[in-house]
Each structure stands twice: as structure tokens, then as C-alpha cells.
């Protein structure tokens, strides 16, 4: 299991949080997504044998919530 916490400056409301958690959480191999509106950060855990960070990062960019490391 891998885990990463990234800053996502585009988070501005509860809708942003639910969109990120739903979309990223729907990827195969993603085990957990916790987006936080107050800190504008997202903590993601995933199975590296099923998916990798590039796939997660690309999806976040596609849904207009690009991560900043």
C-alpha cells in the first residue's frame, strides 16, 4: 500500500471534496481518499500493483483538481 498527501489549491467547498473523493475513490486500486476543504489537501492510499500515482494524478487534473506536491 502506498500513501500520499498532496495540496490541492482548487478545493473551495464541500462539493469539491465530494467530487474528489467520489472520482478518485472510483479508480481501481485506490483504497482511500480523504479530501479536506480547510487545509485544501487530499490524502490518498492505493495498491501499487493495481494502479500508480500517474493514473491518480492524471484523473485529478482531468476533473480540474490538480495536485501540487
Domain that holds residue 15: 2-62
CA–CA separation, 16 and 2 (whole Å) = 23
Contact criterion met (CB below 8 Å) for 4 and 41: no
Asked if residue 29 is part of any domain, the answer here is yes
- Residue 50 domain-assigned (yes or no): yes
Q: Is residue 67 part of a domain?
A: no
Query: pLDDT digits over 22-60, tens only?
Result: 999 999 999 999 999 999 999 999 999 999 999 999 999
Give the CATH number for residue 35. Answer: 3.30.70.100
The H or E element spanning position 34 is strand 30-36
Residue 14 pLDDT greater than 90, yes or no: yes
**Residue at 53 is within a domain:** yes
Amino acid at each position: 500500500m502506498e500513501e500520499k498527501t498532496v495540496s490541492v489549491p482548487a478545493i473551495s467547498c464541500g462539493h469539491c471534496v465530494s467530487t474528489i473523493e467520489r472520482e478518485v475513490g472510483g479508480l481501481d486500486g485506490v483504497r482511500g481518499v480523504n479530501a479536506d476543504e480547510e487545509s485544501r489537501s487530499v490524502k490518498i492510499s492505493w495498491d501499487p500493483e493495481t494502479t500508480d500515482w500517474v493514473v491518480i494524478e492524471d484523473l485529478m487534473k482531468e476533473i480540474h483538481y490538480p495536485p501540487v506536491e
